[in-house]
Amino acid sequence: MITWEEILAAVTVSFGGRSAEARDALTACWAATAPEQGAQRCVIAHYLADQQDDLAEETAWDERALAAHGSVADADLAPIGVPSAHGFAPSLHLNLGDDYLRLGRLDDAAHHLDRARASADGLADEGYGAMIRAGIAGLQTRVAARRGTRGTAGDRSTTAHPPPVQ
């Protein structure tokens, strides 16, 4: 079983952007997890998604992250500075909504946009919470544009991550 320290080291490498080094480090972490390590799998998959060159692979990793989140207890992410598993959900839905929109899956994108908005109630108004809310607003605008309706914020990239870990 892998430790949070090993995962955080790989996540830190990913902060430098997409690279073979980050992808390899995160892939090794994933391979070292046990099925019962849902919180660890959720975090690894969340960051590994952004290391993919192929949108379908990125989406598959974002789907794995959300699936693993289903087994994360509220306090499971506390060791890495995320006070609530609930607070991680908006980012997961935001990333999947963005993936699906880029894949042309408008209904799926709208579904995850709705889930991101519904789970954002506990986010702070500043810092990480503000970043995620801005991403949600941007995705809302992009979904509305594809549907031919009016959005509420400027078009921007919506890939979202939790705050840097301690």
**Can you give the residue ranges of every domain in the chain?**
4-147
CATH 1.25.40 fits 4-147, yes or no: yes
Helical pair 55-69 and 38-49, crossing angle rounded to 10 deg: 160
Distance, CA of 83 to CA of 161 (rounded, Å): 14
Backbone angles phi, psi at 76, to 5 degrees: -65, -25
Indicate the SS3 state at residue 81. coil
pLDDT at 165 over 90: no
Answer yes or no: pTM beyond 0.85: yes
pLDDT 10s digits, 51-109: 999 999 999 999 999 999 999 998 899 988 888 899 899 999 999 999 999 999 999 99
CA atoms within 13 A on the CB side of 8: 12
pLDDT 10s digits, 108-148: 999 999 999 999 998 888 998 999 999 999 999 999 999 98
